[in-house]
Amino acid sequence: MTAVATAQGVAPPRPRAGLRTPAIFVGLAVALVVLVVVSAGSGQLSIPPDQVVGAFTRAWNDAVRAIGLGFLSVPPGAAVEHVNGEATLWLIRMPRLLMAVLVGATLATAGVVMQGVFRNPLAEPGVIGISSGAAVGASASIVFGLTFLGPLTLPVLAFVGGLAATVIVYASARADGRTEVVTLVLTGIAVNAVGGAAIALFTYLGSTQQREQIVFWQLGSLNGTRWDDLAVVAPLAVIGITVCLFLAGDLDLLSLGERQAEHLGVRVERLRVAAIVVIALLTCAAVAFCGIIGFVGLVVPHLMRMALGPGHRLLLPASALGGAVLLVVADLLARTAIAGSELPIGMLTALIGGPFFFWLLRRTRRRSGGWG
């Protein structure tokens, strides 16, 4: 047995590296569950954690009995004492919390795939203009007062705007049956610039109230999330993340280089097209209902890569969990940091992600001279 001598005697051996990966996944899962319970009980109407857990267990029991699996029931916990507690929990807080989990997971997963397919650690979904396109669609809906789909009009137009931006960028970057990565990024920058100009125009044309709504939407918010919104986002998120998991092996081979990946059987162009489609799907689904939430797709993949290494089979699910944890924390801070008001969640993720990214840049430069 290998040991390290110390002044006090013999230090215990370090734990095996193989235990690190399950410990990280278990830690992320436990953190997510605890944060959901704490966040569900936090706000202007405080609900103790034991009562939140009791409400969850009763909902679970009702669900398993409804489908004939009553043997899976668990002992009921404490009842929610406040007369409006159950309504607040299930009609306001739970849709919002579940949306935070889904949006955090989708943005982080999209960031991993983006960095893998571009082979660039600075890549994130906003690079190819998806967020800007969605913001243009949302701004048009606000300024022109469009309501042809009722409450879904703004999210649908934001979704369409994000997809339109993706199509423009991809069509411009494709030549001779191949997609040029450099052209894709440069076109994305141009689309972002045009989108910014269009948003500025809509802001100029709108009324004071419409301007405030446009600005607030761009800052990102989970306020007002409904179960109907989750019914739209959840299938898109599940499908998109599942497809990303199937791309993990090819993304690992692509990290060796395009030519090497092709020699190993990877159809690089088909992989790139599939990746761009799934990135657009995930990002548009998140942005359409919550506005622009930055840095999640950039910071979380780097954190998970530092902890688990570059293998996408572990990196993708870990990033999904990490993104969910980060956004639940940000949403909790947004609701509780200032009594009686709510901070934009996109602003908080930028405040968290910006300093971290500066630290990451300095750390990388110190260790290896930068990303080169």
* Residue 179 confidence class, pLDDT cut points 50, 70, 90: low
Query: Which residue, of 40, 57, 86, is where some domain finishes?
Result: 86
**pTM score:** 0.86
Pair 146, 64 in one domain: no
| Count of domains forming the chain | 2
Closest among 233, 231, 246, 279 to 102, alpha carbons compared: 233
The CATH number covering residue 253 comes to 1.10.3470.10
What confidence tier does 18 reach under pLDDT thresholds 50, 70, 90? low
Residue 332 included in any domain:
yes
| Mean pLDDT, residues 102-123 | 87
Specify whether 300 is located in the same domain as 352: yes
Same-domain check for residues 237 and 333: yes
10: DSSP letter: E
Q: Is the model more confident about 9 or about 146? A: 146
Final residue of a domain: which of 61, 86, 111? 86
CA dihedral defined by 60, 61, 67, 69, rounded to 10 degrees? 110
Q: Three-class SS of residue 178?
A: strand
In a domain, 33, yes or no: no
Same domain, 146 and 79: no
Decide if 30 is inside a domain.
no
Confidence class of residue 206 from pLDDT cuts 50, 70 and 90?
A: confident
Max avg pLDDT among 3-7, 24-28, 56-60, 215-219: 24-28
Instruction: Determine contact, residues 52/41, Cβ cutoff 8 Å.
Output: yes
Pairing of strands 178-179, 4-6: unpaired
Domain range for 65 is 49-86
Of 40-44, 105-109, 226-230, 352-356, the range with the lowest mean pLDDT is: 352-356
Section 117-129 average pLDDT: 77
Phi–psi pair at 161, nearest 5 degrees: -60, -40
The DSSP H or E segment spanning 164 is: helix 153-173
Are 82 and 106 in a shared domain?
no
Q: CA separation (Å) from 66 to 63, 78, 89, 276?
A: 5, 22, 21, 40
Same domain, 81 and 170: no
As given in the structure block, the two tokens for residue 75 are: 């002992």
- Count other C-beta atoms under 10 Å from residue 52's C-beta: 24
What are the pLDDT digits (tens) for 265-278? 888 888 888 888 89
Q: What is the mean pLDDT of the chain?
A: 84
- Whether residue 267 is found in the same domain as residue 350: yes
User: Do the domain assignments include residue 351?
Assistant: yes
64 lies in the same domain as 147: no
269, with CB counted inside 10 A (0-12, 13-18, 19+), is middle
Range list of β-strands (E), 127-237: 174-175, 178-179
CB-based burial, 186-197: b 16+ in 10 Å, e otherwise: ebbeebbebbee
